[in-house]
Every structure is written in C-alpha cells, then in structure tokens.
Homo-oligomer: A and B are copies of this chain.
Amino acid sequence: MPDDPSLLDQPAPATVEEFRERLAAITDGLPKRLRQCADYIAANTDRIAVSTVADLAAGADVPPSALMRFCQILGYSGFSEMQRLFREAYAPGWPDYATRLSNLKAGGAGSPAALVAEFVEAGRVSLEGLAKSLDPQALDQAVRTLAAAETIHLVGLRRAFPVASYLAYVFEKMAVPAMLHDGVGKLDHRFALRPGDAVLAITFAPYSEETIALAQDAAARGLAVVALTDRLTSPLARAATSVLTVSEVDFGAFRSLSATIALAIALAVAVGSARD
C-alpha cells in the first residue's frame, strides 16, 4: 500500500469503538485482499477474540499473511496485539449473568424463577432484534411528524394499552400535549381529533379493530398518523404516514413488551426534545 501518513502513522485503536471507526475510515481505498479482510472483520468483529489468524483468514478467503498485513495497517504490531483488545473487552454483559440464568432455569422447567429466566432471555433477544432492524429514517420521520403536531393522540388497546399509557405518562412528564384514548365507557372521543393534531396508533397481531378504525378516520381527515406495529404489512400501516415496526420474541403463547417499551420511550423522549 502507499505510504499514506493519514492512514499509517496513527496509533492503534485502543477501544472497540475506536476500532470500528478506524475500520470504516480506511476500508475505502484498500486493495482487493486487504479489503476482503476489512469486510470480513467488520462483519465478524465479535469473533476476533476467539479465533486464530488461520480461522479468520480462511473466513475472509485470504492467506494468513494478508491478514497480518491488515492488522499492521490498522496500527497494531500484529494480530496478537489486536486480539488482546478484544479479549480484554470480552466480558460486558456476561459476568455472572449466564450462571444466574442457568441456575434459575435449573429450578425446574415450570418454576416461577425459570419463567423469569425465559422472559429475561426473550426480552434480551427482542431488544437486540430492535437494534438490528430499526429503520432510522422511518424513526426520524415519525419524530418530525409528532414534534410538529399540536396534540398527540395516543391509541392502543389490549396488549398495546400498556405502551400507550406509558407514552401518555412520559409525554405528560415532558409537557407535551397528548391525549390517551383509552376506550373507557366506549366513549371514543373521535371529535377530539383537530386539524394539526397527529395520531400515534399502536397495535399488534391480532390487530384491534378500534385502533385501526381511529387511525383510518384520522387519516381520512388529513391528520398525520404514526403507526407502531409488528410488521410493515400490518393493516395499520395502510392508514399511516409513517410506520415503525418492532417484533417481540414470544415464549410459549406469551409475548413480552420489552423492546416495544424501549422503542416507545425513545420515541417519546426524541419528540419531547424536538419540540423545545
């Protein structure tokens, strides 16, 4: 490679964060084999700690020597030095959590503690799924829509109701005008929807008729509708100006709300600060 001082003489990345930045920065303008290394490493960063040079080289489909050169380009003296970073950083999350989980599960398949372990695991996987599948564009759009609204109408029934009520709580805390459509007394308050308002509708399969009806009504009257649902093909999506999806892993017949709640609060906080 050329002796480009902007890439070479820098000190080696000392944290995983820095490592990713450097990787992204240099990937362009790398020759074929080295780029293969960069791509493979970017997609398999987590395996560095537990692999040998030969393993990774085979994965990237390059000879080991190419991988060595790659490590040196990143600023390390060799593979071992780079690996040390990942071996040391390897722990967060796990310290004795896995032990605990398996102890809880050991209590007996149907025991309450084992159930907690299952739902903890389901929640964790759902959260990771949220991070992986979130569409930042759609989120930005939803935030802009809601931030521009006069009053935000929250609607979510049955399993979605806790989410809607939580949003109502957070909006209240942040002094954002919001109204929770809770269906009490089968009063539907649909004339509370005024021009300039927006609707945040939440529903998951099996979708609530009432929620969809309110969203459609609002859309027909020209109001912006943000949908929080489980699939882009949800019936709610058709009525919506922007759609956010989040899927929860289920355990048996039951489905938690961990990821949905996380997305909801992030949305609320983003809207709250965008309005300031």
Contact = CB atoms under 8 A, between A and B. Distances in A.
Interface of A: 16-17, 20, 42-43, 45-47, 49-51, 86-87, 90-91, 93-102, 104, 107, 110-113, 115-120, 122-125, 127-128, 130-132, 134, 136, 139-140, 142-143, 158-159, 161-163, 165-166, 169-170, 184, 252, 254, 256-259, 261-263, 265-267, 269-270, 273
A93 B47 contact: no
A79 to B, nearest CB: 14
26 contacts: A45-B98, A45-B99, A46-B90, A46-B94, A50-B86, A50-B90, A51-B87, A95-B132, A96-B132, A101-B131, A112-B143, A116-B139, A119-B263, A120-B128, A120-B131, A120-B259, A122-B262, A124-B127, A159-B166, A159-B169, A166-B257, A252-B269, A256-B261, A257-B265, A258-B258, A258-B259
A211 to B, nearest CB: 14
A213 B86 CA distance: 52
B159 A131 contact: no
B270 A128 contact: no
Nearest to A273: B110
Given A120-B127, A169-B162, A50 B87 contact: yes
Given A118-B266, A119-B266, 15 more contacts: A20-B99, A46-B95, A100-B131, A101-B131, A104-B134, A124-B124, A158-B169, A159-B169, A161-B166, A162-B166, A162-B169, A162-B261, A257-B261, A257-B265, A258-B261
A119 B131 CA distance: 10
A16 B87 CA distance: 19
Contacts of A111: 136, 140, 270
- Majority SS of interface residues in chain A? helix
Given A45-B99, A162-B169, A136 B112 contact: yes
A144 to B, nearest CB: 9
Contact of A270 (B98, B115, B131): B115
